[in-house]
């Protein structure tokens, strides 16, 4: 799933276009929670909105069952983005005034998520100083706008006030939704601050060094950049971040607790010591083998060429993901592949019992190693989501938000299961 939109459908003839918008969003894998105002219900039926969205429609502030299942505060925050389409003159006026006179305006007042409005009204209503005042007020409050457009109106007049077309709205939504706006490769979407507030995120990063003796070791070329960028992204979303890091030459990021380790076994121990965590991301390039008979001192040339007996290292990701007790809610791993990227990542997802594998196509033509950009595929039990090429920093930001949403959804369904039992 690529995020969730709470779609408030106001009372205007353009409401029928919002049904088309639901279809377009669903086709993009975006979940839609429809919310109809009283006036909105006169233009489209709750049943058609529910059928297209495949979800229950919210329409009554005082519905007792709704308040028990999901209160208006929770409703206002359960989506990544709130879209008001059509935003009528009346709805805009009430939102601008900060009224909470029905479910729609209450949600708009209570939300901490970005809001996108698609105004639709008669040309004179749009041009009225009162509406323009409300528009400026709402913009100053941080509300985003798409449209209106110029054209013929249902009332027979011509001018500014037609609601933006569903395709135009879809594009505006993709620009604002984390994890999907990336597809455009344009402006970074507004950061939903606090998506990870209260969460502990544990990340492994960098290579491991496996000693041959007191001074020599086996290593790999991992720079640790991806893991460090993820740690910063998690911190920026409000998480408490612990970064278990192999030897790297990166500056220590602010506001992140770093636990330096050298070997795979030390990394596993540090990870165990840091559990429980809400989300664990295994971005380290852990050495698959270590030398069984590492010498305590420095080996001498005169002693002859040593024979190295390699033994497998513990798989940290598989160990943690397979834990029966104390397993983090979301466990994410990486897979760098050159061939059959998705099939191999799928196998890894199952074998290691991860919730998600982030697969990198590292074939030479992709120029990922050492390059600034990355092409990733997110593999979960639900399917594959392939992201377009983007720089590694943005991969980290989008990925962390994606994991935050998975965590939140998992928490929500766990709470629902508990309530059922």
* Residue 43 interacting with ligand C5P (CB under 6 A): no
Q: Which is nearer to ligand C5P, 79 or 264 (CB)?
A: 264
Q: Quick one: which of 222, 226, 313, 360 contacts ligand C5P (CB under 6 A)?
A: 313
Which structure tokens are listed for 4?
Answer: 């969730």
Q: Which is nearer to ligand C5P, 317 or 404 (CB)?
A: 317
Q: What are phi and psi of 132, to 5 degrees?
A: -65, -35
Residue 351 C-beta: closest distance to ligand C5P, Å: 8
Distance, CA of 9 to CA of 312 (rounded, Å): 58
> Which of these segments, 11-19, 152-160, 283-291, 323-331, binds ligand C5P (CB under 6 A)?
283-291
Distance, CA of 196 to CA of 303 (rounded, Å): 55
Residue 226 C-beta: closest distance to ligand C5P, Å: 10
SS3 assignment, position 57: coil
Q: What are phi and psi of 306, to 5 degrees?
A: -75, 150
Q: Quick one: which of 108, 286, 345, 390 contacts ligand C5P (CB under 6 A)?
A: 286
Contact present, 207 and 313 (Cβ < 8 Å): no
* Residue 114 interacting with ligand C5P (CB under 6 A): no
* Residue 228 interacting with ligand C5P (CB under 6 A): no
| Residues paired with 162 in a beta bridge | 149
Q: What are phi and psi of 165, to 5 degrees?
A: -65, 150
Distance, CA of 371 to CA of 390 (rounded, Å): 11
> Which of these segments, 27-35, 108-116, 124-132, 314-322, binds ligand C5P (CB under 6 A)?
314-322
Strand order from edge to edge, sheet including 144-145: 31-36, 4-9, 81-87, 115-119, 144-145
DSSP 8-class letter at 96: H
Which structure tokens are listed for 341?
Answer: 């990227």
Active site residues: 155
* Residue 315 interacting with ligand C5P (CB under 6 A): yes
> Which of these segments, 177-185, 279-287, 374-382, 383-391, binds ligand C5P (CB under 6 A)?
279-287
Of 30, 34, 2, nearest to 18 (Cα)? 34
Q: Which is nearer to ligand C5P, 98 or 312 (CB)?
A: 312
Could you list the beta-strand ranges (E) of 157-235: 158-162, 200-205, 210-211, 217-218
Q: Quick one: which of 230, 241, 264, 403 contacts ligand C5P (CB under 6 A)?
A: 264
* Residue 333 interacting with ligand C5P (CB under 6 A): yes
> Which of these segments, 4-12, 78-86, 309-317, 363-371, binds ligand C5P (CB under 6 A)?
309-317
Which structure tokens are listed for 378?
Answer: 């997110």
Q: Which is nearer to ligand C5P, 174 or 354 (CB)?
A: 354
Sequence length of the chain is 421
Which structure tokens are listed for 383?
Answer: 């399917």
Q: Quick one: which of 334, 375, 401, 404 contacts ligand C5P (CB under 6 A)?
A: 334
Q: Which is nearer to ligand C5P, 101 or 350 (CB)?
A: 350
* Residue 230 interacting with ligand C5P (CB under 6 A): no
> Which of these segments, 291-299, 308-316, 401-409, 411-419, binds ligand C5P (CB under 6 A)?
308-316
Positions in the binding site for ligand C5P (CB under 6 A): 204, 264, 282-284, 286, 313, 315-317, 333-335, 348
């Amino acid at each position: 799933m690529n995020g969730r939109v709470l779609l408030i459908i106001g009372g205007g003839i353009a409401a029928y276009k919002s049904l088309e918008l639901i279809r377009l969003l669903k086709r993009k894998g975006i979940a839609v929670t429809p919310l109809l105002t009283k006036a909105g219900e006169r233009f489209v039926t709750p049943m058609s909105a529910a059928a297209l969205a495949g979800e229950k429609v919210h329409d009554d502030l005082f519905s007792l069952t709704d308040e028990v299942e999901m209160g208006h505060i929770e409703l206002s925050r359960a989506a990544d983005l709130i879209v008001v389409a059509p935003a009528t003159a009346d709805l805009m006026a009430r939102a601008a005034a900060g009224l909470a006179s029905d479910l729609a305006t209450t949600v708009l007042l209570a939300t901490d998520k970005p809001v996108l409005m698609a105004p639709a009204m008669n040309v004179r209503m749009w041009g009225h100083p009162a509406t323009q005042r409300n528009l400026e007020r709402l913009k100053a409050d941080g509300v985003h706008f798409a449209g209106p457009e110029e054209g013929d109106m249902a009332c027979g007049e011509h001018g500014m006030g037609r609601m933006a077309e569903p395709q135009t709205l879809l594009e505006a939504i993709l620009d604002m939704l984390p994890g999907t706006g990336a597809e455009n490769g344009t402006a970074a979407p507004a950061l939903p601050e606090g998506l990870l507030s209260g969460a502990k995120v544990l990340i492994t990063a960098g290579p491991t060094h496996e000693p041959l003796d007191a001074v020599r070791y086996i290593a790999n070329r991992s720079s640790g950049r991806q893991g460090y960028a993820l740690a910063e992204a998690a911190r920026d979303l409000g998480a408490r971040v612990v970064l278990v890091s192999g030897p790297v030459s990166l500056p220590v990021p602010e506001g992140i607790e770093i636990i330096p380790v050298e070997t795979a076994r030390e990394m596993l121990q540090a990870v165990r010591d840091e559990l429980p965590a809400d989300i664990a991301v295994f971005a380290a390039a852990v050495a698959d083998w270590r030398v069984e008979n590492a010498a305590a001192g420095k080996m001498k040339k005169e002693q002859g060429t040593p024979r190295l007996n390699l033994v497998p290292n513990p798989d940290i990701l598989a160990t943690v993901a397979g834990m029966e007790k104390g397993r983090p809610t979301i466990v994410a791993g990486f897979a760098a592949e050159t061939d059959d990227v998705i099939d191999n990542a799928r196998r890894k997802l199952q074998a290691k019992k991860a919730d998600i594998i982030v697969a990198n196509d590292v074939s030479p033509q992709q120029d990922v190693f050492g390059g600034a950009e990355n092409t990733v595929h997110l593999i979960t039990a639900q399917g594959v989501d392939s992201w377009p090429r983007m720089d590694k920093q943005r991969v980290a930001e989008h990925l962390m938000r994606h994991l935050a949403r998975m965590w939140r959804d998992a928490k929500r369904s766990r709470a629902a299961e508990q309530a059922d039992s």
